[in-house]
Amino acid sequence: MAFAASSSSSSLSFPLQKSCKPYPPTGILYGLPSTSRLRSPIRQIIRMSATQAERPGLSFESLPIKPPSHPTYDLAGVIKSALAEDAGDRGDVTCLATIPPDMEVEAHFLAKENGIVAGIALAEMVFYEVDPTLKVEWSQKDGDSIHKGLQFGKVYGNSDSYAGRAHSIVIAERVVLNFMQRMSGVATLTRAMADLASPACILETRKTAPGLRLVDKWAVLIGGGKNHRMGLFDMVMIKDNHISISGGITNALESVDLYLQQRNLHMEVEVETRTIEEVNQVLDYASRTKTSLTRIMLDNMVVPLSNDDVDVSMLEQAVNLIKQRFETEASGNVTLETVHKIGQTGVDYISSGALTHSVKALDISLKIDTELALQVGRRTKRA
């Protein structure tokens, strides 16, 4: 079975691939109407079909910007959970009370501020989970710029399918927008940071919303950044607490090298340094030992000044000491105001937790009466 979305500008396909592990039926209650051609109950319960009884993996090969890889992350499960927490045990009682079951509508995505749109592919997955007969068309794609007042997509039903599409659209609306607004906010800030940081590359961190690790990091990629490690499993990152517990930075590096060698593991290794002395200790260890170290983090070597400027002389000194023997990453005091100056020091990467932990959602709406929505938007300076 495949999820396909028709589009005026692109065509997306997400084949479901079987896994060796069983995936239990969800029994999620979304609250669709009763008079569909599928003869569903009064509040239709959406369950996985027999052909999908195993855990689905989603293939994103057709996407221009693919989500990052994760061995255990269940994106389909995240979508189901988001819909389930909204539907509760009754479904959408307001829809059931106010919208005729055979109502067909067309709803339009409306940008209420300028930014970078992200989450289009994820939105289509949400619509498909609620109602596979819905069609989605876009004039933009993930990573494109949108401006206030722009109608950049629409969702509607297929006349050959069962009724109840108005219900389906309204039920999916908030979950779709929650994902899109957050992802677009992350992508918008990332694009601004990435442009200013050049020639350095901008990275996020693990400071993501719980349960949304892949979603947040996907948004960073859409915005033009690069991903730091996905979690604790895919990169060794020796931070200050590891160093303190190990009895020093040299001991920590020795322990990591021994651990990887004994297990025949090959992965990137990064160590955090906070002083020039620690940088020299790392370089001394690497000069006399075969090490798996690949990157040195230069933490809080950007010093704030009283005039809102920053002093990057310590960072520059550290970069010059390392002399491209290892990748370098600046961290700490990274803002839109400071990132350009940091990027000019010769550092390879700049990491910012603010990309995901302090995200401002981009204002996007989904409207059936777009003319009235635009009138209200203009009145409130949001369209």
Q: What is the pLDDT of residue 333?
A: 96
The CA distance from 35 to 15, in Å, is: 29
* Residue that wins the pLDDT comparison between 219 and 58: 219
pLDDT band at 383 (very low <50, low <70, confident <90, very high): low
Q: What is the pLDDT of residue 159?
A: 58
Q: For residue 166, what are the contacts with CB-CB under 8 A and spacing of at least 6?
A: 95, 99, 100, 103, 104, 105
Query: Is the pLDDT at 9 greater than 60, yes or no?
Result: no
Q: What is the pLDDT of residue 265?
A: 97
* Residue that wins the pLDDT comparison between 54 and 123: 123
Neighbours of 37 (CB within 10 A): 11
pLDDT digits (tens, 9 = 90+) for 71-98: 999 999 999 999 999 999 999 999 899 9
Q: Which residues are catalytic?
A: 174, 207, 239, 272, 299
Token pair belonging to 202: 């901008």
What does each C-alpha distance from 180 to 130, 184, 243 come to in angstroms? Answer: 16, 6, 39
Q: What is the pLDDT of residue 343?
A: 98
Task: Give Dmax (Cα) for the chain.
Answer: 76
Q: Encode 229-248 in three state secondary structure.
A: CCCCCCCEEECHHHHHHHCC
Mean pLDDT of the 373-378 span: 67
Q: What is the pLDDT of residue 31?
A: 61
Sheet holding 135-138, edge to edge: 135-138, 151-156, 106-111, 364-367
Query: Is the pLDDT at 116 greater than 70, yes or no?
Result: yes
Query: Is the pLDDT at 269 greater than 70, yes or no?
Result: yes
Query: Is the pLDDT at 39 greater than 60, yes or no?
Result: no
Amino acid at 301: M
Distance of alpha carbon 245 from its chain centroid, rounded?
A: 33
Of 52-61, 260-269, 371-380, least confident by mean pLDDT is: 52-61
The CA distance from 148 to 256, in Å, is: 50
Q: For residue 72, what are the contacts with CB-CB under 8 A and spacing of at least 6?
A: none
Q: Is pTM beyond 0.95 here? A: no
pLDDT digits (tens, 9 = 90+) for 196-230: 999 999 999 999 999 999 999 999 999 999 999 99
* Residue that wins the pLDDT comparison between 171 and 381: 171
Strand partners, 186: none
Q: Is the dihedral of CA 187, 188, 189, 190 positive or negative?
A: positive
Q: What is the pLDDT of residue 261?
A: 97
Exposure on the CB side of residue 383, measured as CA atoms within 13 A: 20
pLDDT band at 158 (very low <50, low <70, confident <90, very high): low
SS3 166: helix
Which residue, among 131, 147, 130, has the nearest Cα to 139 in the 3D structure?
147
Q: What is the pLDDT of residue 35?
A: 43
Neighbours of 21 (CB within 10 A): 7
Neighbours of 101 (CB within 10 A): 17
β-pairing, 327-331 vs 349-351, is parallel
